[in-house]
Chains A and B, each alone.
Chain A
């Protein structure tokens, strides 16, 4: 018991001391799988900021489902910066007045310091010869994806297939919807989330193709060994963005605007970009992209804004209740 008390008071002391030592504290509220990216990024920034301003910063991270996280921020979680995986979620904070209306133009590249793409993971040797979206919609092929209505991962897959179908000869909204109908019939289930889909495909050996982020493929290689699967790049796929924003209300209240701004700016520095590349996210910096070219083969991508107007518009048309996704399932 005394031991326990000692360790508790020690912990408290350390916390107090930590807070006293740091000149400022920043809270980065982020999505689930960004944990590693920012765990590596934070010490880099601390070192840079210390050298630049002499201030020592304490950096805290909070991770969870993207939408759940922004709701927490809207409900009062004092985030200085938000780093998310969907523009919708930051748009929600902008509507609430927590984030600037023109947040996407406050930083370069649509306020997204790195990108990823949606790729196919197939079994060793690609037994079903899956090369492109059309092959997945063929009869007898099983596709594993998370629920398109509830996960960014699932939505990106759906929108990628839609954009591909639009670009086919004679493609229009009607043909795209027909194609999606065929494609979704090949999903024997909708996983609860991205990682659940990976487990279903790799561990339970279900399905012929898993559609996920390029960065997730590297995680799978680490976890299950490179020899168990192959990565296939379709002829057209989505460039997924990971937007960041300053939470204006909080930084003004806490007086941390300067530090928070620098924290996000530094994501575009050579060190920040290199860190993204090392975490298998495509850096925006062309030089660094070139340096890591082996991890990132060239692929033809589209942006949501270019094909669907904006992420918010795409969401409203396809995934709102009664949208095209629901129509595909209710017409059955």
Chain B
């Protein structure tokens, strides 16, 4: 049946060929080149470089801060997306446009601005530091910068999905006796969870590679607030292209594994949802649980 369906774009062969060439030129070729370069070193040496004390510390900072930033945005980004879809208020379009700003802003500008804000004498820093909260030039600053950079990923992924959930579903659940919390956890959340995971994964992936915004606010102290991209740059400054490539490959593998994990989780939840009941039935189930 699928073969008789009329498709808008003609020529599967042509389209697939184009897709493969395009992806190869843009993604596979550079990545392949990188892996090839690293293979000059051999697996043992790559692991040696990656397991150095400073590299390990940098990996911890990079992946830890990225996970924290993605988690923060998964929570607050969800609220932002929800408000933007479900409520109307004056200036809504303006706020909606604001969400995209971190995409457009040069990241170094973001980093310098955040550092100015949160430094000891900055607008916010002067109130935070007496409370013992140091943001600029600490790992916390890295989390702040990464959170800023990755906000649009979560919001923009969630918005269309939330738009797709009809308010009638919520009303149905409520009319069947579900509480607000039950409606959220058993009706809405399962529907948006796959998208939330996607947003989380995108934010996380973006955060790992971030350089410009972070180095201006991190403080860059070895073992404390040095990110892996800085170590890579530092190796390039020593003309150690191989060492830099080794670190990059390790980062690539780690992020790929993490993203794969998120994707499996996402696929699993989406599948469970599809094979379960349609939303209306879920609403009824939620209400059933309430009785």
- Give residues in A with beta carbon < 8 Å to B: 67, 71, 92, 147, 149-150, 187-192, 196, 199-200, 203-206, 315, 319-321, 326, 329-330, 332
- Sampled A-B contacts (5; CB under 8 Å): A189-B220, A189-B221, A200-B115, A205-B119, A329-B223
In the complex the two chains form, is B116's CB within 8 Å of A203's CB? yes
Top 4 closest pairs, chain A to chain B, by CB: A189-B219, A204-B119, A329-B222, A189-B137
In the complex the two chains form, is B121's CB within 8 Å of A192's CB? no
The interface centre, meaning the residue of A196, A315, A321 with most chain B CB atoms within 10 A of its CB, is A321
Query: B233: shortest Cβ distance to chain A, in Å?
Result: 6
Query: A216: shortest Cβ distance to chain B, in Å?
Result: 18
In the complex the two chains form, is A188's CB within 8 Å of B116's CB? no
Q: Considering the chains assembled together, what is the distance between the CA atoms of A183 and B33 in angstroms?
A: 42
- A67-B237, A200-B115 are known; give 15 further A-B pairs, CB within 8 A: A188-B137, A189-B137, A190-B221, A192-B215, A192-B220, A199-B112, A200-B119, A204-B116, A204-B119, A204-B120, A206-B137, A326-B222, A329-B222, A329-B223, A330-B223
Q: Considering the chains assembled together, what is the distance between the CA atoms of A315 and B218 in angstroms?
A: 25
Whether, in the assembled complex, B216 has its beta carbon less than 8 Å from a beta carbon of chain A, the answer is yes
The interface centre, meaning the residue of A190, A199, A330 with most chain B CB atoms within 10 A of its CB, is A190
Stretch binding the partner chain, chosen from B79-87, B181-189, B238-246: B238-246
Q: Which of B121, B216, B230, B243 contacts A196 (CB 8 A)?
A: B216
Q: Considering the chains assembled together, what is the distance between the CA atoms of A50 and B236 in angstroms?
A: 41
Knowing A320-B238, A321-B238 touch, does A190 contact B122 (C-beta < 8 A)?
no
Cβ–Cβ < 8 Å partners of B216 in chain A: 192, 196
Whether, in the assembled complex, B206 has its beta carbon less than 8 Å from a beta carbon of chain A, the answer is no
Whether, in the assembled complex, B285 has its beta carbon less than 8 Å from a beta carbon of chain A, the answer is no
In the complex the two chains form, is B120's CB within 8 Å of A205's CB? yes
Q: Considering the chains assembled together, what is the distance between the CA atoms of A320 and B216 in angstroms?
A: 23
Whether, in the assembled complex, B277 has its beta carbon less than 8 Å from a beta carbon of chain A, the answer is no
Cβ–Cβ < 8 Å partners of B219 in chain A: 188-190
Tell me the chain B residues, 196-236 only, with Cβ under 8 Å from chain A: 215-216, 218-223, 225, 230, 233-236
Q: Considering the chains assembled together, what is the distance between the CA atoms of A67 and B237 in angstroms?
A: 6
Whether, in the assembled complex, B54 has its beta carbon less than 8 Å from a beta carbon of chain A, the answer is yes
**Chain A proximity mask over B109-133: 1 for CB below 8 Å, otherwise 0:** 0001001100111100000000000
Query: A222: shortest Cβ distance to chain B, in Å?
Result: 20
Q: Considering the chains assembled together, what is the distance between the CA atoms of A196 and B218 in angstroms?
A: 12
Query: A97: shortest Cβ distance to chain B, in Å?
Result: 15
Q: Which of B53, B115, B136, B220 contacts A147 (CB 8 A)?
A: B220
Cβ–Cβ < 8 Å partners of B237 in chain A: 67, 149-150
Q: Considering the chains assembled together, what is the distance between the CA atoms of A193 and B252 in angstroms?
A: 27
- Nearest residue (CB) in B for A326 is B54
